[in-house]
Amino acid sequence: MDFTLNEAQLLVQRTARDYAERRLKPAAAQLDRSGVFPLEYLQEMAGLGLMGVNISEGLGGAEAGAVAYSLAMTEIAAACASTAVTMAVTNMVGEVIEAFGTEEQRERHVTALTSGRHVAGAFALSEPEAGSDPGGMRTTATRVDGGYLLEGQKQWITSGAHAGVFVVWARTGGAGTRGISCFLVEKGNPGLKPGRAEDKMGLRASNTVPLTLERCFVPASALLGELGGGFKIAMMALDGGRIGIASQACGIARAALDASGKYARDRQQFGKPIADFQAIQWMLADSATELDAALLLTLRAASLKEARQPFSREASMAKLFASEAANAICNRAVQVHGGYGYTREFAVERHLRDVRVTTIYEGTSEIQRTVIARSVLR
């Protein structure tokens, strides 16, 4: 099996790593403390092609593929997980519009996302009463003269206060998953009202808001894909999104492991560095092994996606394993740091808070197991 990266993948990885080290890593602790949305960084990243890594060049993307995207996401997440999730959702929104949009929708929105004219994209699927079960959503889209009126509530919308375009799911008729359609709603629509930002445990510089859709009119041309075809669009987008979150988890875990190795060599107890103790070495060994396994599962899912082969099950496996492993790795990193790891002085405290949500969003670990088990039993 050949694990060698090609030139384009190496270039994207290097570009993301250099940017992350130079700009994001020095800013990450302050972004976490202030909770300020990383606007200037996101625009710089758009300039580097990081807002459309797997989007065609014709639409302003880097056209570097799903593997390069995963590599870039890992690098950005290792420096600032808040910026990484904003990048992840923006790339996912760009990809879904490129895949299902009309020529006009692509030209209007994908180029705005890849260029940074839209500072971010937003993905509005979940609702207060429909998280793991999006098929149970209640938001409606009613046909009116010239378009649709959207009414309802969305929840946990990443970048919802800043996004230039929102992919919004709503019921257009009929019960169940076949009665759901997908719409593009633009920032500034008077019927689209972002609520108060959530006060989160981690990813504090990312923006997460509820959305109210109140007599939110969109023209008929805002329908994305086929009428009644929205649920499948969501599932396909989430398959790709899960590779992004797996990659993000790997990045956070790598940062925590790197910090642990450095701390273990520096920190002296009983007259020698704690790295000399087998108890610490075994923690580092377990973390390094789990991180490699997570990366391999993630890159396998990405390479299947890139080869246009089925990858839903593999994306769920990568997301399940990487997010759970990354939580264990960040937890161990705090343990290696002892009392200091429990303070804001050391980055591992932030990594542990940031990584926690990776087993929850874009499908909980329990949902990933459901997807995997269904595929095993099919």
Asked about 362 being catalytic, the answer comes back as yes
What is the smallest separation between the CB atom of 40 and ligand COS, expressed in angstroms? Answer: 25
Looking at the DSSP assignment, which residues form a beta bridge with residue 263? Answer: none
Segment 214-253, which members bind ligand COS (CB under 6 A)? 231-232, 235-236, 238-239
Residue 228, both tokens: 């009644």
Which of 102, 132, 289, 343 touches ligand COS (CB under 6 A)? 132
19 vs 231 by CB, closer to ligand COS: 231
Residues in 25-84 at the binding interface with ligand COS, rule: CB under 6 A: none
Neighbours of 209 (CB within 10 A): 22
Please select the residue that binds ligand COS; options are 54, 111, 126, 153, rule is CB under 6 A: 126
Specify the residue for token string 């089925």.
310
Helix (H) or strand (E) holding 185: strand 180-186
- The candidate with the shortest Cα–Cα distance to 354, out of 320, 335, 331, 321, is 331
Contact call for residue 375 and ligand COS (CB under 6 A): no
Q: How far apart are CA 232 and CA 87, in angstroms?
A: 23
Smallest gap, in angstroms, from Cβ of residue 44 to ligand COS?
25
The verdict on 135 binding ligand COS (CB under 6 A) reads yes
* CB nearer ligand COS, residue 196 or residue 378: 378
SS (H, E, C) 252-281: HHHHHHHHHHHHHHHCEECCEEHHHCHHHH
CB of 354 to ligand COS, least distance (A): 17
Q: Please identify which residue in 41, 69, 100, 123 interacts with ligand COS, judged by CB under 6 A.
A: 123
Phi, psi (5° rounding) for residue 130? -145, 85
- For ligand COS, the closer of residues 230 and 341 by Cβ is 230
Query: What is the contact mask toward ligand COS in residues 150 to 189, using x (rule: CB under 6 A)?
Result: ---------------------------xx-----------
Question: Hey, what long-range contacts does 262-267 have (CB within 8 A, 24 or more apart)?
Answer: 263/336, 263/337, 263/340, 263/346, 264/336, 267/338
Binding test (CB under 6 A) with ligand COS, winner from 189, 221, 365, 370 = 370
As a whole number of angstroms, the distance between CA 264 and CA 370 comes to 39
> How far is residue 359 from each of residues 180, 183, 289, measured CA to CA in Å?
26, 28, 19
Per CB under 6 A, contacts with ligand COS among 288-317 are: 312
Q: Is residue 95 at the binding interface for ligand COS, with CB under 6 A as the rule?
A: no
Count of residues that interact with ligand COS, criterion CB under 6 A: 22
| φ and ψ of 116, to 5 deg | 90, 0
Q: Which stretch binds ligand COS (CB under 6 A): 60-68, 147-155, 284-292, 360-368?
A: 360-368
| Contact with ligand COS (CB under 6 A) among 61, 94, 134, 230 | 134
Q: How far is the CB of 203 from ligand COS (least distance, A)?
A: 13
Nearest to ligand COS of 211, 283 (CB atom)? 211
**Spatial separation of the C-alpha atoms in residues 214 and 243, rounded to whole Å:** 33
Residue nearest to ligand COS (CB): 363
**Stretch 317-356 residues interacting with ligand COS (CB under 6 A):** none
CA distances from 345 to 67, 125, 284, 334, 357 (A): 34, 37, 21, 12, 22
Specify the amino acid at residue 89. Answer: V
Task: Identify residue 111 by its one-letter amino acid code.
Answer: T
367 is a site residue for ligand COS (CB under 6 A): yes
Residue closer to ligand COS, measured from CB, 140 or 370 = 370
CB of 87 to ligand COS, least distance (A): 15
107, 151, 362, 366: which is the annotated catalytic residue? 362
CA distance 240 to 304: 11
Specify the amino acid at residue 136: G
| Residues engaged in binding ligand COS (CB under 6 A) | 123, 125-126, 132-135, 177-178, 231-232, 235-236, 238-239, 312, 361-363, 367, 370-371
Active site residues: 362
